[in-house]
Chain A
Amino acid sequence: GAVVSQHPSRVICKSGTSVKIECRSLDFQATTMFWYRQFPKKSLMLMATSNEGSKATYEQGVEKDKFLINHASLTLSTLTVTSAHPEDSSFYICSAPRAGGPTYEQYFGPGTRLTVT
């Protein structure tokens, strides 16, 4: 079964409003989670690294004031798209590393489809 969940799976919002997307690790703790954005027929682009108990680390070119990330607990990270515009419409995917013996494996959430009208 899924080990990383995202909510909502789809959201439609009006331009200028804010939208919050949740990413949860279901049966393990994740001090770090990652947020990606996927454009149609394109690859995943890393937006930021979410760090539990501290500030997120944003990739170059990603506006931290527009894409607010909060990692308030060891199982939950949230991405808030503030003052959304149509160009923010995309598929947002989170991932969390889970330890499996001496190594980790990245688990990806099912994604959230955001449409801004």
Chain B
Amino acid sequence: GNSVTQMEGPVTLSEEAFLTINCTYTATGYPSLFWYVQYPGEGLQLLLKATKADDKGSNKGFEATYRKETTSFHLEKGSVQVSDSAVYFCALSNTNAGKSTFGDGTTLTVKP
């Protein structure tokens, strides 16, 4: 079956530091890959996505590239802000309209 393995947290960084959150997956076929963000007390919001190999998803300074050869979709940001403090979930879905499989989430705290 499908599974997503995400870098364990929590991660604490200083403002303007570089962020990487690792994500690897196991899936049948060619899934779509997603990063979601959950701010305290709120629901999930789609941060970025990639639907095929070598695609790069990007949004709000965050990027992730769909690497089929390493089955990875690592999230990166060059300079984090305090407002980026949240829980980040890597996820996959075999079809965009289908159910999603989530990683365990990584809590990011950015200190000023």
A-side interface residues toward B, CB under 8 Å?
Answer: 6, 32, 34, 41-44, 46, 49, 93, 95, 97, 99, 103-111
Contact = CB atoms under 8 A, between A and B. Distances in A.
Interface in B84-101: 89, 93, 95-101
A70 B105 CA distance: 29
Contacts of B104: 42-43
Given A93-B43, A93-B44, A46 B51 contact: no
B69 interface: no
A44 B102 contact: yes
B47 to A, nearest CB: 12
9 contacts: A41-B105, A42-B104, A43-B89, A44-B102, A103-B32, A104-B95, A106-B34, A108-B44, A110-B42
A68 B99 CA distance: 18
A105 B34 CA distance: 10
B103 A108 contact: no
B43 A105 contact: no
Nearest to B49: A105
Interface of B: 32, 34, 36, 42-46, 49, 51, 89, 93, 95-105, 107
Contacts of A93: 43-44
Given A43-B104, A43-B105, A49 B99 contact: yes
B43 A110 contact: yes
Nearest to B42: A110
Contacts of B34: 106
Contacts of B44: 44, 93, 95, 108
Contacts of B93: 106
A105 B100 contact: no
Given A107-B46, A110-B43, 10 more contacts: A44-B100, A93-B43, A95-B44, A97-B96, A103-B51, A103-B96, A105-B49, A108-B43, A108-B44, A108-B45
